[in-house]
Amino acid sequence: MSSIYENLRCIEDRIDKAAAKSGRGRQDITLVTVTKTRSVEQIAEAIACGATDIGENYVQEAQEKYSEIGDSVRWHMIGHLQKNKARHAVEFFSLIQSVDSIELAEQIGRRALAVGRHIDVLLEVKISSEATKYGVDPDRSLELASKIAQVSGLKLCGLMGMAPFEQDPQDTRPFFRDLKTLWDKLPDEQRIYLSMGMTSDFEVAIEEGSNMVRIGTAIFGPRG
């Protein structure tokens, strides 16, 4: 039995237990398997073991993998998206989680309409002060969400955020709680996904209301 299979089963169990703490079930949480730098063979094995949603950080890398794997899974763009990459991103991503400006949203919308698609997107909120993190300032997030929701060619489906890395995952709780508070203020039709939580902190994120987690290292192991 492969380590990917065993790791996935372990993650599924941990998600189930964390969901139960917030009065939900495993079926209420979407697991996005993060496959940045992973081989097509590893991704195919994860899919064979039950992975249904794949998260990639770079459009070109994802394109190459998509050309071999296709639409057997849902593809998520979880990395920073440059406006000049939107044309390719709308061709195969099901959910773009990293929209952080009206200009990017409008570019996605135009490109999506040009290929006859409507793209689901999340607004990325910068809940960490780390300089390397992207996202809109929390104070501007609801105003920007309202503008993005008016863009043709896409549908705003919620929020995404990354807490700072903490040695103790419990220390991420306030960051996730703040993002959940913002998400709760969105109109009902936009409160579909709250994407927060990664390998180091996903259980805390779920306990604080996340319904979509992005996990790679805990499934595939450290990158070689």
Tens-place pLDDT, residues 107-120? 999 999 999 999 99
Instruction: Give the confidence band of 224 by pLDDT, cuts at 50, 70, 90.
Output: low
Instruction: Set out the domains of the chain in order of their start, with CATH numbers.
Output: 3-220 (3.20.20.10)
Q: Look-up: residue for tokens 């992973």?
A: 38
Tens-place pLDDT, residues 35-83? 999 999 999 999 999 999 999 999 999 999 999 999 999 999 999 999 9
- Give the residue ranges of DSSP H helices in the chain: 3-21, 40-48, 59-69, 86-89, 102-114, 138-148, 173-184, 202-207, 217-220
